[in-house]
Amino acid sequence: MTAPPSSPPPRIAPTGLPRRRIALIGTLALALVAGGIVAWSVLRGGPGADSPEEAVREFVAAVTAQDAVAALAVVNPAEVVGLAASFGRARQRLEDVGLTGGGRLLDAVDLRVDDLDVEVEQLADDLARVVPTRGLATIALDPERLPERLGDLTAVLEETTLDGSPEAFENIYGVPPAVLTVRVEGRWYVSLLASALDLQFGDAVREFRIRAYGDEGLVAADYAESDEYRPRISATPQAVLSDLATLVDGGQVAALVDALPEGLAIALRPYASIVQEYLVGVTVTSASLEDLDVDVEDVGDGLTRLTIDRAVARLDFDDITGEPVSVGAELVGDCGTAQEYQPGGSVVEDSDSACLPAEFVRATGIDRATVMVREVEGGYQLDPAATVVDYLDRVVQTLPDSLLEQGIDLVVEEIRYEVGSEDDSTFTD
């Protein structure tokens, strides 16, 4: 592995705006933009772009135009396919409580990005980091145009404009802004997942590598050496879970990543070697998933829901000191039990069974553990993104109006508190 220069670039002095205010206004702006979009029904994987830079520029142009359909046309299809119906239902619920509808939401927020220049760092054949080197992003909020349901905020939110440059972003978050892009079937897409990982875990990876090797962390060589995607495909939906247990038994993190759809695997695979290195000294001796009883439901769009009625999982490994450890869990319906085994196999500690509270089940519609698997060429693969969307969709459909109203009130009150506790500094650099 080739290490980057040992001396990081100098940091620019703080600009003064508390990051809570930035997150507050930015999140509110994005929520308003999302809430005002009508064309939810056409959110599908799009055509992508010819290059990483083009994908990012098209994405930025669509976001500033508040056009989610155009934005998602250049987002990794593995991260957005299946969202259409869920977004439609979510928007209807928000409209029912007065947060969407009409054009006022779009009028309340103005987004601009001017004079954008970028550099492209090719990390691998199918992965590239796009780094803005110049530009000015502007978020303008006019609280007088907020929907009536958020009327309490008009008294505390002033007409606000926030300007941010790449240098200001790096000053606040400690890393330069970057958008990671992936190539899927010859086309380039923005990967929200890879970009979030790059921002969230970049420092953690760097610290781990500095402790272990004295270098700066995840660099292009790690991506280049992460090998190409080698899909692991199961013959049936039911076989997906047992096949994953077999891969865990082998202790190969990269193989687990290859059991995911291509677009997700490309985004995650470079981290597989990091996790593998972190687990040096830990040896998986066996992993199993037994007594598996699942209900299989074809939900359309190439997705199958597996509802787990019963499963017994066990993992045996030698820890970093060489001591054998055996742990497991049993899931029956909406109840689970954690277990610790002796090396010979008998249970030495069995926790009390914990079940999902009845109030939680009534509020969310979630009464079993479920996973979504996607049909791909030759079989099926686990789809974590679709699994998350499926859980959220059930919550959207089931959550009582009274709880939704309470949640909105809590958010409004938090915003009122946050804004009232901070001064009027600026975000210009």
What does pTM read for this prediction? Answer: 0.74
Residue 124 has pLDDT above 50, yes or no: yes
Higher pLDDT, residue 254 or 324: 324
43-93 pLDDT, tens per residue?
445 788 999 999 999 998 888 887 777 888 888 888 876 666 677 777 777
- Exposed e or buried b for every residue in 121-151, given b needs 16+ CB within 10 A? eebbebbbbbebeebbbbbbbbbebbbebbe
Higher pLDDT, residue 204 or 17: 204
Q: Which residues contact 162 (CB under 8 A, 6 or more apart)?
A: 17, 22, 25, 26, 138, 139, 140, 426, 427
Burial bucket for residue 72 (CB in 10 Å: 0-12, 13-18, 19+): buried
Higher pLDDT, residue 62 or 94: 62
Token reading at 4: 């980057």
In angstroms, the Cα distances linking 292 to 225, 311, 327, 341, 351 are 37, 4, 18, 20, 21
Residue 318 has pLDDT above 90, yes or no: no
Residue 123 has pLDDT above 50, yes or no: yes
Residue 14 has pLDDT above 50, yes or no: no
Residue 380 has pLDDT above 90, yes or no: yes
Confidence of residue 423 (pLDDT cuts 50, 70, 90): very low
Mean pLDDT over residues 366-392, rounded? 90
Mean pLDDT over residues 235-261, rounded? 84
In angstroms, the Cα distances linking 85 to 56, 88, 92, 308, 394 are 26, 5, 11, 24, 11
Confidence of residue 381 (pLDDT cuts 50, 70, 90): very high
Residue 343 confidence (pLDDT): 60
Residue 6 has pLDDT above 50, yes or no: no
Token reading at 282: 């830990």
Q: Which residues contact 9 (CB under 8 A, 6 or more apart)?
A: none
DSSP secondary structure letters along 273-333 = HHHHHHTTT-EEEEEEEEEEEEEEEEEETTEEEEEEEEEEEEEEEE-TTS-EEEEEEEEET
Confidence of residue 172 (pLDDT cuts 50, 70, 90): low
Residue 149 has pLDDT above 80, yes or no: no
Nearest to 141 by CA among 127, 161, 125: 161
Check if the beta carbon of residue 48 is closer than 8 Å to that of residue 76.
no
Token reading at 123: 């990390």
pLDDT exceeding 90 applies to what percent of the chain? 15
Centroid of chain to Cα 76: 12
Residue 247 has pLDDT above 60, yes or no: yes
* Distance in angstroms (rounded) separating the CA atoms of residues 426 and 18: 9
Q: What is the mean pLDDT of the chain?
A: 74
Residue 350 has pLDDT above 90, yes or no: no
Mean pLDDT over residues 339-344, rounded? 68
Mean pLDDT over residues 197-212, rounded? 64
Residue 266 confidence (pLDDT): 81
Residue 404 confidence (pLDDT): 84
Residue 187 confidence (pLDDT): 92
Residue 277 has pLDDT above 60, yes or no: yes
Higher pLDDT, residue 362 or 69: 362
Residue 207 confidence (pLDDT): 63
Element (H, E) at 146: none
**What is the chain's alpha carbon radius of gyration, rounded to the nearest angstrom?**
24
Residue 147 confidence (pLDDT): 75
Residue 31 has pLDDT above 60, yes or no: no
Least confident of 113-117, 332-336, 415-419: 415-419
* Distance in angstroms (rounded) separating the CA atoms of residues 49 and 27: 27
Residue 271 has pLDDT above 80, yes or no: no
